[in-house]
Amino acid sequence: MRYLVDCEIVSNSEVASEQYRMVLEAPDLAREARAGQFCMLQVADGLYPFLRRPMCFERIFGERISILYKVEGEGTRLMSRMREGQAIGVQGPLGNGFPIDSSFKRHIIVAGGIGVATFPGLAEALIRACGAIPEVILAARSRHLILCGEEFRALGCTVHVATDDGSAGVKAYASQMLQKLSPAPGTRVYACGPMIMMRTTSEVAVAAGADCLVSLEAQMACGDGACLGCVVASKHEVEGEKMVRVCVDGPVFDTTLIDWEAHNTAYDR
């Protein structure tokens, strides 16, 4: 069931430079939503920005959901100025979410920058559903962009930090850190972040015989499968087309379905 509801903002605070966490009172959404799904937020009362902005559920807890977001442009800047007690229009839950499969022996989450936003809820779901405590790689350009380390540690996860500049954890890219953890058949890797990071992480996982799911981003208009604004190229035909819609077929995909070559990811890592 999908909703279009006005939700009260419980809090909206800056957690790092230009990165915020918004908590919403959203009983209907919280009841229906699963880790890896997302919602579309009405960020303005007027006509600009017109389109709702897609955001993952960071956590789903009780009658509330949280959203972790980075200020990118006008829509997210308006979000960052919203205050406790205000209402925001929310459409969701949307998309497929992460499958939870207890047959995997090992679960490794690989987060690049704000891509971490979809993973606290996944870690909680894995622990709740199959008692599997995931290992977590948090990768970012620099120390100040590493988020959620304490939250994952509080869940019992081992957290591996990697930064491009070496200012925190190991100086390495996400894919190199994954290689160090030696994924193998029976491991499921979950990746979200910039396209190049997901591509290289997927390559390490697949080469090791591990299963790999990626949570993709695309610019969205309808969020409902109608406008085709969010399509990405796929390797195999899905419903007669070599493309998939991130909003309804995803955002979570098996990496082997995605045609990474077609996405012009600067292949320099």
From the list ligand FAD, ligand FES, none, which binds 222 (C-beta under 5 to 8 Å, kind-based)? ligand FES
Residue 74 touching ligand FAD (CB under 6 A): yes
Contacts of ligand FAD in 212-241 (CB under 6 A)? 217-220
From the list ligand FES, ligand FAD, none, which binds 108 (C-beta under 5 to 8 Å, kind-based)? none
Contacts of ligand FAD in 162-201 (CB under 6 A)? none
From the list ligand FES, ligand FAD, none, which binds 149 (C-beta under 5 to 8 Å, kind-based)? none
As given in the structure block, the two tokens for residue 232 are 């990405």
Which whole-number Å values give the CA distances from 168 to 5, 106, 121, 162, 210, in the listed order? Answer: 40, 25, 24, 7, 27
Distance CA 74, CA 63 (A): 29
User: 208 or 229, CB closer to ligand FAD?
Assistant: 229
Binding footprint of ligand FAD, residue count (CB under 6 A): 23
As given in the structure block, the two tokens for residue 65 are 């959901």
- 1's CB contacts (< 8 A; 6+ apart) are 28, 32
As given in the structure block, the two tokens for residue 253 are 């995909």
* Residue at shortest CB range from ligand FAD: 73
Q: Closest separation between CB of residue 143 and ligand FES, Å?
A: 34
Residues near ligand FES (CB under 6 A) are 220-223, 225-230, 245, 247
Q: Closest separation between CB of residue 54 and ligand FES, Å?
A: 8
Could you tell me if 123 and 101 are in contact, meaning their C-beta atoms sit under 8 angstroms apart?
Answer: no
User: 77 or 171, CB closer to ligand FAD?
Assistant: 77
Selected range binding ligand FAD among 64-72, 141-149, 165-173, 201-209, rule: CB under 6 A: 64-72
Residue 20 touching ligand FAD (CB under 6 A): no
Q: What are the strands, taking DSSP E only, across the chain? A: 3-16, 19-25, 38-42, 53-56, 59-61, 64-70, 87-94, 106-112, 135-140, 159-163, 170-171, 187-192, 211-215, 231-238, 241-245, 252-254
Closest CA to 94 of 51, 40, 50, 43: 40
- Interface residue with ligand FAD, options 42, 76, 91, 201 (CB under 6 A): 76
Give contact residues for ligand FAD (rule: CB under 6 A): 38, 49, 53-56, 67-70, 72-76, 114, 117, 217-220, 246, 251
